[in-house]
Amino acid sequence: MNLIESRLRPWRALVLAVVVAAATPAVARPLPASAAIASAHPLATAAGEEILAAGGNAFDAAVAVSAALAVVEPYASGLGGGGFWLLHLAKSGRDVFVDGREVAPAAATPGMYLDASGKPVPGLTLDGALAAGIPGQPAGLAHIASRYGRLPLARSLAPAIRLAEQGVPVHRRMTTGLRFRRPAAEKSPGFMAVFYPGGVVPEEGALIRQPDLAATLRRLAENGSDGFYRGETAERLVAGVRAAGGIWTLEDLAGYRVRERVPLRVSYHGATLISAPLPSAGGIGLAQMLNILAAYDLRAMDAATRKHLLVETMRRAYRDRAIYLGDPDFVSPPVEQLMHPFYAAGLRAGIRLDRATPSSALAAIGTDGSEGHDTTHFSIIDTKGNRVGGTLSINTWYGAAFIAPGTGVVLNNEMDDFTVKPGVANVFELVGAGSNAIAPGKRMLSSMSPTFIESPRGVAVVGTPGGSRIITMNLLATLTWLDGADAATMVSLKRFHHQYEPDVISYEDGAFTADELASLEARGHQLVRSERSFGNMNIVTWDYATGRIEAATDPRGTVVGQVY
Ligand code: GLY
């Protein structure tokens, strides 16, 4: 029994209701003055707007935006991947978390990426057909449309089908990713044919058409989930994957199921956060960090001390992520206890404001015992007050860089989000334990965490890609909103991050002043300025008093701009 378990055990039976609840009563307030969509690409936002104009609600728009992102950001998310959609149903006040995360195929085994000496084989979880989990996004879209939408699935998918058929202009993030992924892509003729016409990376501005993807989308539109998970699409996917050394079967696809889960709720200084439950680590991490911070007066602190304190809360939450978290259908992490204020008080007691706690001084990960620059997030509010936060992914740039011939579907490499070996870091330098080990049908732990912040002032729908940094980016955005900032400030805020291991603060240029850097170093922190910017946050906010709606997209994510 490690230190944390000994702290948790005595009150393991304590209340569940503190942190997990199903519904909030609808509150009478002025409706939003307009609808708003913030996404990573203007053509995806336009797809959502088209569906709202056609009489769709926020949920129909979410389907349209998700599908369009699959076409215009093929490096970030798509039908070959998965995602989480956090929904707020204005009429009932209910919040729902739609879990369309990928699962491991039935033939997957814990040691499938290890060599004979027990070492992970480089690249095997990242490149090619063996790296791909069974996709969840198509089932998620069909589920949202049929259960929550007002329009038929086919109507909401129409903009994406049109974009795939007519072509979309190539932008810089597309070409940067293609250059980077070329060595893996060269092993997939299906991928090369779509994204390297004539064998070369296309010019920015050239049109890229995806007719196979359009046909796959049409089969989904016409037949719902079965149009992807059974029949022609499924047969092509399985044939292509198996021919390239993968282990998918038709039964894996036919057996895929979306899960609806109860979102996590946490109170902080008069606000309520509604966020992602397992198999996302995001809501739990956010709750843990806010629970630790709740006892401090952050506004009364000097900036360096405040940032030091945030780093210490990040360190502790990510340590627990590594030790405890995994798919709740397979393991039973002590979620209620981890999110309980008493537990936060215990963690808080170990924090010194004058000195960093080395990660090695915290109880270590047992030996029994993961996230995406290339994910995407969108936020939507409609004029009835329905909301959607969607974070979708195929994991790293262009996922596995693999397309089963004739499908147009870029497959994910989310198998890398499992713990391939305890203590061995994944692509996001995340370590884990047995709770996140590979098992057939299991969902790999995620950091994707679409979140609603409800405060007396109004609502913010928040989320971002950024792999392991997603959770800390959401924390920084939350604190900024609660300090009174607008959406534009939240998305452009300079960011910093700590994830327990490696024991460093990584930060964007501008996140700290020279004095703050000196002060953090004097406390014993190791700091590394990142060459890359963090995330691509897309936020919409609704001010209750005025009904005013704001949408803000991250300046880091402009389609012609900086690579993140
Ligand atoms: N692959 C990124 C995540 O799910 O967190």
How many A from CA of 393 to the centre of ligand 1? 7
Residue whose Cα lies nearest atom 4 of ligand 1: it is 446
194's tokens: 């779509």
**The pLDDT of residue 373 is above 70:** no
Q: How confident is the model at residue 369 (pLDDT cuts 50, 70, 90)?
A: very low
Say if residue 374's pLDDT is above 80: no
CA of 540 to the centre of ligand 1 (A): 22
Residue 84 near residue 144, CB atoms below 8 Å: no
Q: Which of ligand 1's atoms lies nearest the C-alpha of 444? A: 4
Which of 435, 485, 427, 484 lies closest to 122 in space, CA to CA?
427
pLDDT digits (tens, 9 = 90+) for 73-132: 999 999 999 999 999 999 999 999 999 999 999 999 999 999 999 999 999 999 999 999
Residue 510 CB coordination number (10 Å): 11
* Amino acid occupying residue 332: S
Which residues are tagged catalytic?
A: 375
**Block residue for tokens 């952050």:** 298
Q: Contact 134/103 with Cβ under 8 angstroms?
A: yes
Q: Is the peptide bond before 279 cis (omega within 30 degrees of 0)?
A: yes
Q: What is the pLDDT of residues 440-479, one digit of tens each?
A: 999 999 999 999 999 999 999 999 999 999 999 999 999 9
**Confidence at residue 371, expressed as pLDDT on a 0 to 100 scale:** 35
Residue 386 CA to residue 48 CA, distance in Å, equals 14
Average pLDDT over residues 479-488: 95
Q: Which domain holds residue 539?
A: 1-564
8-40 per-position pLDDT tens digit: 333 332 222 223 333 444 556 778 999 999 999
**CA angle (50, 52, 57) in 5-degree steps:** 145
Chain segment 378-428, per-residue pLDDT in tens: 999 999 999 999 999 999 999 999 999 999 999 999 999 999 998 899 999
Phi, psi of 86 (to 5 degrees): -100, 120
| pLDDT at residue 556, as a whole number | 87
Beta carbons within 8 Å of 375's beta carbon, 6+ residues apart: 76, 77, 391, 392, 393, 394, 395, 448, 465, 466, 467, 470
- Distance CA(52)–CA(383), nearest Å, equals 10
Residues having CB within 6 Å of any atom of ligand 1: 371-372, 375, 393, 395, 414, 417, 446-448, 467
Alpha carbon nearest to ligand 1 atom 3, residue: 446
> Where is 82: in which H helix or E strand?
strand 82-89
Nearest C-alpha neighbor of 487 from the set 29, 33, 37:
37
Q: Whose CA is nearest to atom 2 of ligand 1?
A: 371
pLDDT given at position 160? 98
pLDDT average, residue stretch 276-290: 98
pLDDT in the model for residue 122: 95
Q: Whose CA is closest to 450, among 435, 465, 434?
A: 465
Q: What is the C-alpha separation between 450 and 391, in angstroms, rounded? A: 6
Q: Tell me, what's the pLDDT at 558? A: 63
Indicate the number of domains in the chain.
1
Pairing relationship of beta strands 207-208 and 451-455 according to DSSP bridges: unpaired
pLDDT at 365: 55
Distance CA(313)–CA(1), nearest Å, equals 23
Concatenated DSSP letters for 399-458? Answer: TTS-B-TTT-PBPP-GGGGSBSSTT---TTS----GGGB--TTPBPPB----EEEEETTE
Atom of ligand 1 nearest to the CA of 372: 2
Distance of CA 241 to the CA centre of its chain: 25
How would you write 521-557 as a 3-class SS string? Answer: HHCCCCEEECCCCCCCCEEEEEECCCCCEEEEECHHH
Q: What is the pLDDT of residue 367?
A: 38
Distances (CA, A) of 564 to 223, 293, 397, 477, 482: 37, 29, 11, 18, 26
509-543, pLDDT tens digit by residue? Answer: 999 999 999 999 999 999 999 988 899 999 999 99
CA 372 / ligand 1 centre spacing (Å): 6
| Separation of CA 428 and ligand 1 centre (Å) | 9
Question: What proportions of the chain, in percent to the nearest 5, are helix, strand and coil?
Answer: 40, 15, 45
Tell me the two tokens of residue 443: 């969902």
pLDDT at 547 over 70: yes
Nearest atom in ligand 1 to 416's CA: 1
What is the whole-number distance in angstroms between the Cα of residue 477 and the centre of ligand 1? 19
Residue 409: CB atoms within 10 A of its CB come to 33
Q: Residue 176: is its pLDDT beyond 60?
A: yes
CA separation for the pair 287, 285 (Å, rounded): 5
- What is the arithmetic mean of pLDDT over 198-202? 97
The pLDDT of residue 511: 98
Per-residue pLDDT tens digits for 42-52 = 999 999 999 99
Say yes or no to pLDDT of 236 above 50: yes
Percent of the chain predicted with pLDDT > 90: 87
Q: What's the whole-number average pLDDT of the chain?
A: 92
Sequence letter at residue 316? R
